[in-house]
Amino acid sequence: MKLQTLKHRSFRCIWLRETLLAAVVMIVIATPTMRAAKGSQPSETSASHHSFNEGWKFYKGEAEGAESPGFDDSSWRSLDLPHDWAIEGPFDIKYNARAGGLPFHGTGWYRKTFEIPAAAKDKLVFVTFEGAMYNAHVWVNGHFIGNRPFGYIEFQYDITGHLNSDGPNVIAVKLTPEDHSSRWYPGAGIYRDVWIDYKNTVHVAHMGTFVTTPEIDTNHATVAVETKIKATGNNHAITSKYEVLASRGQVVASTVATATDSGGDTMASATMQIDNPQLWQLDSPVLYTLRTTVFDHGNVVDTVQTRFGIRTLKFTKAGGFFLNGKHTRIQGVCLHHDNGPLGAVANPRAIERKLQIMKQMGVNSVRTSHNPPSRTLLDRCDEMGILVQVEAFDVWKIAKVPNGYNKFFDEWAERDIKDMVLRDRNHPSVFMWSIGNEILEQGNAKEGNRIAKLLNGYVKSLDTTRPTTCGFNYYPAPYKTGMAAQVDIAGMNYKPLAYGPAVDEFLPNTPVVGSETSSCTSSRGVYHLPIEKYQTHESQQVTSYDIIGPPWAYPPDIEFAALAQHPEVLGEYMWTGFDYLGEPTPYGGKDNSTNGYWNADWPARSSYFGAVDLSGFPKDRFYLYQSQWTNEPMVHVLPHWNWQDSGHETIPVFAYTNCEQVELFVNGTSAGRKTKGKDRSEIPVKFNRYEKDHMLTKYRLSWDVPYSPGSIRVVGYVDGKPVAQKEIKTAGAPAQVKLQADRTTISADGRDLSYVTVRIEDRDGNLCPLASNRVQFSVQGAGKIAAVGNGNAATTAPFIADHRDAFNGLCMLIIQSAKQPGEIMIKAESEGLSTDELALSVK
């Protein structure tokens, strides 16, 4: 049976009138995918592609003449990339808490001295920066090569003509990020990978391969390839051999194509057929590899391997989203690009771990808010089976902050969004392009429509196999003016009450997705009684009863109920999966405004929005989403059970579950069994356009329990049988430090990580939920401390340190491997507590 068929690079919309099947739009798509290699390899590789990360010099500040090859940088700091200079701090009230309270702006210089290998002296030489924050200026041997303002975009320079083939060469990079240039922590420095390529005069162009799968059925898949080939000089006879490799490296399809000149670019294209194709799916993300070998007069001049995949997408107004013909609800999260205590550094393990934690919550999609992501994130999503909405911009021409991307938009927007599409269009995980988020042009019908149409056109000129979208928050303005109709899918930010007839009046044929939802805030392990809706709390923390949010925000239950009522909505992207640096809402300031510094509630300096805190520890809200998004029986109970001397005699106990029933036991005695969906819990609710002051939610079960030290235990039942349970005991006084590594064996590559959870426990091994003991770390052997953290959004304690205070019983030690194998010995000490030690193996 045929799943879906699509003409090569076509984007088919089938409009069915209401008289046929209700107003339906079907967007049928079949696009790229690929097979994950052992060790999580990059999605595009070449024999000419080499890491350029090692052996750089760095200086923070003005350095007149530093672009000159003869400049003396001997006193500069030596380091390897990627590097984020700002995460080292210090936190200071003179910096903007809205951007993390860290020194990300100013001037920073990077220099590297290098030589061209003898075998590459007759080659073309290219340097690729995957991301540099921001306004990068690049020189080679004193010659100005180019400038790229947007800190999230990849760029490449041909530096051949400025090199010394014999002797040393110097590349210099100057970055000048400005204050008030970002609404969150952007990081600083060359924070993503850098590469150097040695190419023949005939070679595959940078981002020059495009793989699609236009026709798919159960027995066959057509693979269509387009290749842009750069050819310097004349008298070339260029052909391309294409081979499709399955997961074990076996060739399953091949063909040869002759390249032709096309308006200055040499292009090759071909189609192949794969028999019995394996589809890229969420639970089995099978990936293939396209091997492109370019010949000139019969001689091999370039070989490039590009991972891709085989899958179909369909978006309908009435029926929702279908992946490979199967209805799939988007269970998505918005993610900023920082990696918590590591800052903006695009570390592969940090990104992989973040995604693993999200999958445990039940996440099947990520929105890259609000910028193009790292290649690494997309590679991991390809391998792990996570769909991605890649977003281009947070701002167009109208500023949200005084020095934002709006300053560069007119000159750079077309090139930046096109480069985003060119780089990412072979990833099977990528299934939507977003042209913007909460753009202030929504209030200007003429300008908003013009720019939206323009950006949508730029995307479609390069990829018609995926739909476009945009995150709209000014309901109903962009719908009434027609701006929302400029994209294929309308993204609705925080408007669950408008799903259905309200928005369909303006967009009768356009699918809708909850592109940003909930914005609930909380602090891990913090519980304020009584349960009430407040704006801020004197503790600078937010209760983890999952009810607090800014005026536009609402508890997750509201979105769950709206989506249940409107199954035609594609799903949601909750704000946010992880806490992130900057934007410490509800503390500090007002969102989407240019009102300066958010330091009134210092030291609140990072997000409270996450279902997971900045160190990767799940909050209670993690389990509320897990109860809706997963099928493996689970049950979660809150709060902690250390309420002695608190002044509270009765404690509200909540359970989150995907089971049919939950029974609560207090000190071994049943407090009653309750049924999910039938026994509802009242929670306070207040947000824009919501008429009530509460909700009777069917997504939480609750009991009011007289406090008595001991334990609370919940048991989940399906068909009357116990299938899951969780217990929390009253902890005694802190007695010991305990270390738990997420991985006890890591790679000797100089960048692999082990995340070590540090617990403060009583003598019986119970977590002490109120403990704040300081833990001192010593690390010896084949590794070092990369960072420390604890998830506290309101502290100025440094991330780069050898100690950390626990926050509600937990803190995190992040260990980075050396480049040599060996063993890492970790010791954790805290005054008055027993010590713990842990050994890691580096191989």
**CA 760, CA 810: separation in Å to the nearest integer?**
6
The answer to whether the beta carbons of residues 254 and 246 sit under 8 Å apart is: no
Q: How many helices (H) and strands (E) does the chain have?
A: 9, 51
Q: Which amino acid is at 783?
A: G
For 455, half-sphere exposure in the C-beta direction (CA atoms, 13 angstrom radius) is 34
Measured in whole angstroms, the distance separating CA 141 from the mean position of its chain's CA atoms is 36
Contact 200, 301 (CB under 8 A): yes
Helix (H, G, I), strand (E, B) or coil at 350: helix
How many Å apart are CA 45 and CA 304, to the nearest integer? 6
Asked whether 156 and 128 are in contact (CB, 8 A), the reply is: yes
Spatial separation of the C-alpha atoms in residues 3 and 1, rounded to whole Å:
6
Contacts of 259 (CB under 8 A, 6+ apart): 227, 229, 238, 239, 240, 266, 267, 268
In the set 44, 441, 516, 572, the catalytic residue is 516
The pairing of strands 571-575 and 635-638 is unpaired
Sheet containing strand 721-729, edge to edge, reads 669-675, 661-666, 711-718, 721-729
Q: Are 314 and 326 in contact (CB under 8 A)?
A: no
Is the Cβ–Cβ distance between 449 and 486 less than 8 Å?
A: yes
438 is catalytic: yes
Decide: 464 and 13 in contact? Cβ < 8 Å.
Answer: no
Q: At what angle do helices 348-361 and 620-629 cross, to 10 degrees?
A: 60
DSSP assignment letter at 719? T
Rounded CA gap, 753 and 54, in Å?
A: 18
List the 783-789 sheet strands across, edge first: 736-741, 753-761, 810-817, 783-789
* Residue 187 structure tokens: 């990081």
| Angle, in degrees to the nearest 10, between helices 445-460 and 409-424 | 40
Q: Please measure the distance between the N-terminal and C-terminal CA atoms of the chain and give it in whole angstroms.
A: 48
Q: Quick check: 544 and 638 in contact, CB under 8 A?
A: yes
554, 520 in Cβ contact below 8 A?
yes
Q: Of 2, 49, 58, 55, nearest to 28 (Cα)?
A: 2
> How many whole angstroms from its chain centre is CA 321?
21
Block residue for tokens 């842009």: 228
Q: Is 283 exposed, middle or buried (0-12, 13-18, 19+ CB in 10 A)?
A: exposed
Q: Which residue has the tokens 């020189």?
A: 139
Rounded Cα distance, 326 and 6, in Å:
17
655 near 715, Cβ under 8 Å?
Answer: no
Residue 434 to residues 311, 390, 414, 450, 657, Cα–Cα distance (Å)? 20, 6, 14, 16, 33
Q: Token digits for 369?
A: 């808010």
- Active-site residue (options: 154, 438, 572, 761): 438
Rounded CA separation 395/292 (Å): 38
Cis amide leading into 476 (omega within 30): yes
Q: Is 460 exposed, middle or buried (0-12, 13-18, 19+ CB in 10 A)?
A: middle
Residues recognised as catalytic: 438, 516
